[in-house]
Amino acid sequence: MESGTPFFAGLDLGGTFLKYAVGDAQGRIIYKNKKPSRANESQQDVFNVIFDAITDLQEQAVNNSGTLKAVSVGSPGAIDFEHGRLIGATPNISNWENADIRGKIQSRFGLPVWADNDANIMVFAESRQGAAKGCQNVIGATLGTGIGGGILIDGELYRGTCYAGAEIGHMMIVHNGLACNCGGYGCFEQYASAPAMVRHYINLLTEAKKPIPEAVSTVMIFHRAEAGEPEADQAIDITLDYLGTGFAGLVNIFNPEMIVIGGGVADAGDAFIARIKQAIEKKAMKPALQGLKVVRAVLGNDAGFVGCVSLAAEMYLKQN
Ligand SMILES: [Zn+2]
């Protein structure tokens, strides 16, 4: 029987786990779980993991005196939001090329389905349930192995003409600079991501003829900077300078009220986030800086399923 509280499923598909949750129309999560995503197996195997998760969530909805009304999936790769399917392939999930996320789930469960890129979902989650709640114009960035991004304009995600937009990590900030795996040169993420900070540090140690540790990480660089090592401190400064350049460009174009920063590098803490803001203030145009907030993302690893639950609820309620 279709009755009781309407509930919404959010699934965050990653290279290791499928994290999933069910929540109400306000996006409050009532249950969450995760399963290995079987990302190196066949496309059908990955869909089977998704189907099992949705069955689990349907049962949870019934146990909470409600019904599952809609599903939303966050996935790596470029996603045709209108049709709910992958455009091409993604390196994170081996056989996910052109996966028809909406079609497969809809024909199995008869529920409305939406799918979006995981970086878009992160900024959407922060704008609905996290650090940017209530904000209309937001740039979201995840600083990690690369720089992922999402752009919220007037409260809605900006996806671009072919759903390939908002790739802030591939904004070119150095003319004919370092080659990037996207095919371009001088991309933001080649200079300001975690591996970039590590590279800056190793270059500085090499110049100073100091020994290079076996496994350099950003955590190590932050620790060594705190302990007073000048090269570590300088590597952070160089990275911050590039972050300032990239974000200042975005501030000048979009004039956001908030930049939300997540990912491993953001875990360095609030002091680091404050220094990113200072680096932006050095370079951006003054009118666009008025009231700008630069904050840490608060949803962390939950952002994917939290954003998907909110997206499913919003899209469903718009149509019903
Ligand atoms: Zn690139």
Cα 4 to ligand 1 centre (Å): 48
Cα 183 to ligand 1 centre (Å): 6
Cα 263 to ligand 1 centre (Å): 18
Cα 109 to ligand 1 centre (Å): 38
Cα 187 to ligand 1 centre (Å): 5
Cα 197 to ligand 1 centre (Å): 16
Cα 196 to ligand 1 centre (Å): 13
Cα 79 to ligand 1 centre (Å): 18
Cα 1 to ligand 1 centre (Å): 50
Give yes or no for a contact between 309 and 9, defined as CB atoms under 8 angstroms apart: yes
Cα 240 to ligand 1 centre (Å): 19
How many angstroms separate the CA atoms of 225 and 236, rounded?
8
Cα 36 to ligand 1 centre (Å): 29
How many angstroms separate the CA atoms of 151 and 159, rounded?
8
Cα 313 to ligand 1 centre (Å): 33
pLDDT of residue 211: 96
Kindly report the number of other CB atoms within 10 A of residue 88's CB atom: 10
Cα 16 to ligand 1 centre (Å): 24
Cα 259 to ligand 1 centre (Å): 21
Low-confidence ranges of the chain (pLDDT < 50): 1
Give yes or no for a contact between 33 and 25, defined as CB atoms under 8 angstroms apart: no
Which CA distances in Å does 299 have to 23, 29, 114? 15, 12, 21
Cα 194 to ligand 1 centre (Å): 15
H helices present in 20-150, as ranges: 43-63, 101-109, 118-129
Cα 287 to ligand 1 centre (Å): 29
Cα 291 to ligand 1 centre (Å): 30
Q: Which residues pair with 73 in a beta bridge?
A: 11, 115
Cα 146 to ligand 1 centre (Å): 9
pLDDT of residue 1: 47
Give yes or no for a contact between 72 and 315, defined as CB atoms under 8 angstroms apart: yes
pLDDT tens digits, one per residue of 257-313: 999 999 988 888 899 999 999 999 999 999 999 999 999 999 999 999 999 999 999
Give yes or no for a contact between 193 and 143, defined as CB atoms under 8 angstroms apart: yes
pLDDT of residue 2: 55
Cα 181 to ligand 1 centre (Å): 6
